[in-house]
Amino acid sequence: MGLLNKLFGGGTQLELKLDVEKVPPGGTVAGSLTLTGGKKPLKLTALKVDIVSVLVQSKEGSSLPSIDIKVLSSNIVAQDRDLAPGSLNKFEFRYKIPEDAKPDATYKVMASADIPG
């Protein structure tokens, strides 16, 4: 990636921090995202936080488990923003995990930044 960084700028980083690690169904997941600008001016199209449920269960008569993955919530935290080179951009978020979410599932919080080019 060194050559690509030299040619196209690169250096953009996204960091996700959660206030607490475990949140039950019906609870609220909260945290912050820190987006660091790259080596040249960039345009942030969308900064998104997804809450994903992963349920792994053994299947009778099979050595492979059943894996059920569902996006419970998809939220745009910020959109259409200019990112100055090397800038630190902090965004807070707070979203509720649905009450009817399966309590035996594992929940993941995933963040993504859409930056064209």
Query: Would 46 be classed as within a structural domain?
Result: yes
Q: Residue written as tokens 């800038």?
A: 87
| pLDDT of the chain, 117 residues: tens digit per residue | 444 445 455 678 999 999 998 888 889 999 999 999 988 999 999 999 999 999 999 988 889 999 999 999 999 999 999 999 999 999 999 999 888 888 888 889 999 999 987
DSSP-assigned letters across all residues of 11-72: --EEEEEES-S---TT-EEEEEEEEE--SS-EEEEEEEEEEEEEEEE--TT-SSPEEEEEEE
Task: Check which CATH number belongs to the domain holding 91 and give it.
Answer: 2.60.40.640
How many domains does one find in the chain?
Answer: 1
Is there a domain that residue 12 lies in? Answer: no
Q: How far is CA 94 from CA 18, 44, 91, 97, in A?
A: 10, 21, 10, 10
Domain-located, residue 79: yes
Within a domain: residue 10? no
Indicate whether 24 belongs to any domain: yes
Q: Domain for residue 98, yes or no?
A: yes
Q: Is residue 37 part of a domain?
A: yes
Residue 1 lies in a domain: no
- Domain holding 105, by residue range, is 17-114
